[in-house]
Structure 1
Amino acid sequence: MPTLYHAPHSRSTSILVLIEEMGLSDRIDVIDVTVARANGHGGPDPRNPHPEGKVPYLTDGADHVRERGAIIAYLTDQFPEAGFGRPVGHPQRGAFLSWLFYYQGVMEPVLVLDWAKLEHPVLHATFRNLDAVFARLSEALDGQPYLLGDDYSAVDLLLSSPFQWLPEAMPKQPALRAWIARCADRPALKAVMERQRAGLPV
């Protein structure tokens, strides 16, 4: 059975939400571990096999997957019947993978750089800036409620997730704010967040 190593109130929460959305709670073990936090608290957990002590980390037999985009692709490919990915052969397979890689390679670095107030022409040339990221999202959402069309998918979950944690990064564009609100209103997200607030088992 696949095992997810998770730290509450961290990036790995979005993978818990995906598991909830896909109805996989009884098919994936979740082990809570500690991680080093930005405020200096916490630290590596010997129970966590991630080579850098990070989360999320998914193991499946002898195989292992790190990075949220990769874990999302792995789980949605393993369980295509849940309908949250775009399997091989689907006409939106390329778009689905592109959004996952865009998040990991562009959007999250840009958000972190903006939060840290770091500015340099090389950073903007490599990663773009926040305005460019918001423009790309706005373009994708023009005339449709979600990034891939009428239906919510795992890419909406991933790309909207930072704004659940960094409300100060919330875009001003009404269409983006409405999309973020739609994603935040999902019952799976509310259920996971409520369990974490209450300190209940995931």
Structure 2
Amino acid sequence: MLTLYHAPNSRSTSILALIEALGVRDRVDVVEVSVARADGSGGPDPRNPHPEGKVPFLVNGADSVRERGAIVAYLTELFPDAGLGRPAGHPQRGRFLGWLFYYAGVMEPVLVHRFAGIDHPALGATFRDFDAMVDRLVEALAEGPFLLGEDYSAVDLLLSSPFTAFPDAVPDHAAVRAWVARCADHPATRAVLQREAAG
């Protein structure tokens, strides 16, 4: 059985929503652990096998997966029938993988630097800036209501997750705001966010 190490209201919330969207919640043991929080609360949990005490961390027998993009790819390939991934040979496979890596390599660093108030030419040259990031989202959304066109996928869940968690961070662009609202209204995301908000 798969095991997800999860801390409520954290980066792993999006993976819990993905598991629900895939329809495999009954096939995943979710172990809630504590993690160090930005406000100084929490801390490492000895039950969490992640080498840095972070979440999400997915274990499948002797194998394990860390980093959200990798977990998204792993789970959507393990459960392809849900249609949330793009398997090898699919005409959108490259775009799907590109967005997963874009999230980890560009989007999250840009958002964290913006939140922390850190700006430096090297950061913009390496990761792009916030406006360039928004432009990439807008360009993709011009082709359909979701990042890969007409159909909601796991890349929508992942890339919208910082904005569903922090609505004040949603870019001031109508297409992006509407996309975030559509993603937040997905039944699995809505259910998980409501449960975690209720504590």
Q: Which moved more, 1:153-162 or 1:169-178?
A: 169-178
Q: What does the per-residue CA deviation read over 1:2-30, in whole Å, with 9 as the maximum and x for residues that have no partner?
A: 10000000000000000111101111110
Q: Secondary structure at the match of 1:176?
A: helix
1:19 aligns with 2:19: yes
Structure 2 residue ranges without an equivalent (≥5): none
Q: 1:143 to 1:98 in 2, by over 3 A?
A: closer
CA distance in 2 between counterparts of 1:167 and 1:127 reads: 22
Task: Look up the match of 2:8.
Answer: 8
The whole-number CA distance in structure 2 between the counterparts of 1:71 and 1:18 is 10
Amino acid at match of 1:162: P
TM-score, reference length from structure 1 = 0.97
**1:186 positional shift:** 1.0
Measure the CA separation in 2 of the matches of 1:101 and 1:171: 20
Question: Aligned letter for 1:175?
Answer: A
Match of 2:142?
142
**Pair 143,97 (structure 1): closer, same or farther in 2 beyond 3 Å:** closer
* Post-superposition CA distance 1:110-134 (Å, at most 9, x none): 0000010101000000000000000
Which residue of structure 1 aligns with residue 36 of structure 2? Answer: 36
Percent pairwise identity: 69
The residue type equivalent to 2:164 in the other structure is Q
CA distance in 1, matches of 2:163, 2:5: 23
Deviation above 6 Å: which 4+ runs of structure 1? none
Task: Find the counterpart in structure 2 of residue 93 from structure 1.
Answer: 93
Q: Superposition RMSD on alpha carbons, in Å?
A: 0.8
How many residue pairs match? The answer is: 199
User: 1:186: which partner in 2?
Assistant: 186
In structure 1, what is the equivalent of residue 82 of structure 2?
82
- How far does the alpha carbon of each residue in 1:71-108 deviate from its partner, in whole angstroms, 9 at most, with x for none? 00000001111110001111111110000000000000
